[in-house]
Amino acid sequence: VSNAGVGMAGPLECQSLEAMQSLMDTNFFGLVRLVKEVLPDMKRRRGGHIIVISSVMGLQGIVFNDIYSASKFAVEGFCESLVVQALRFNVAISLVEPGPVITEFETKLYEEAERANYSLTDPETAEIFTKVYLRNSKDVFSSLGQTPEDIAEHTLRVIEAERPPFRHQTNVAYTPMAALKHADPSGALMTDTFYKLVFNYGAVLRFSL
């Protein structure tokens, strides 16, 4: 089970390339190193199961989570490419894709975001992040957030499944979000919907949450 991960949220201009590379080294290359270690023996035994804790942000990018989403997209693409070869050796790969999970991980992320220096970006972007994104994000977590125990139960179900699924989303509230991309391959529907939710209907979003 690959579960190592770090987060990053905020305006792109305020994040250093070193921090981005460090995040990718944990979230993506950490997984790659683990799989390189365990896969050869699983192939020799012609059996095994690799479970990867991914994220719904590996299916749908979220505003101000550019680098974190990129790392999870990389995880999803890596596993999607590898799964067909792995099945030839009777090795299953499963992506567990949680939505928001209420842990110290997120608390720390918010604390860092609230005291960060936003002088490297323009005032409008800084205000959108601190006044719109952080507020909406906290509402999402308080309304839709899952506990670590809930994610553990979902992961156990994937482990014990007779035919392990390749993808398993833990929060049905996020299914429509991911479905928007498949409903319109051009991306216009997804982009327009999220733009309106963030900038036009923020009060409705918070009320519905």
**174 among known catalytic residues:** no
What is this structure's pTM? Answer: 0.90
Q: How far is CA 69 from CA 55, 62, 118, in A?
A: 8, 7, 21
The CA dihedral of 171, 177, 179, 185, to the nearest 10 degrees, is: -150
In the chain, what are the domain boundaries? 12-177
* Distance set, CA 148 to CA 3, 74, 95, 101, 152 (Å): 12, 23, 16, 7, 6
Return the closest-CA partner of residue 121 out of 13, 10, 2.
Answer: 13
Residue 192 CB: number of other CB atoms within 10 A?
Answer: 12
* Domain topology for 12-177: Rossmann fold (3.40.50)
3-state class (DSSP) for residue 133:
helix
Token pair for residue 37?
């270690």
Per-residue pLDDT of the chain (209 residues), as tens digits, is 999 888 899 999 999 999 999 999 999 999 999 999 999 999 999 999 999 999 999 999 989 999 999 999 999 999 999 999 999 999 999 999 998 888 877 777 777 777 788 999 999 999 999 888 888 887 777 777 888 999 999 999 999 999 999 999 998 877 777 788 888 989 999 899 888 888 887 666 665 55
* Stated length of the chain: 209
